Amino acid sequence: MKKGHQVDIAIRRGVQGKDLESLNETIQAAFIEVDEEERVARSALSRLEAGIVRRFGDLRKPTV
């Protein structure tokens, strides 16, 4: 948002740094962390989906 000579910026994962090199390292580390979190989440979701499919399969089996 711009008010006169002042500009305010709102972002989700902003970082501050003194130079571009340190910012680059910080951002690379953040991307690696997000990738790992997403991998863990995808793995958990796959396990949940497999469990649901197994349970639906069990429901279709005739009971004796």
- Tell me, yes or no, if the pTM score tops 0.85: no
| Span 30-55, pLDDT tens digits | 999 999 999 999 999 999 999 999 99
| pLDDT score recorded for residue 15 | 87
Task: Report how far residue 34's alpha carbon sits from residue 12's, in angstroms, rounded to the nearest whole number.
Answer: 13
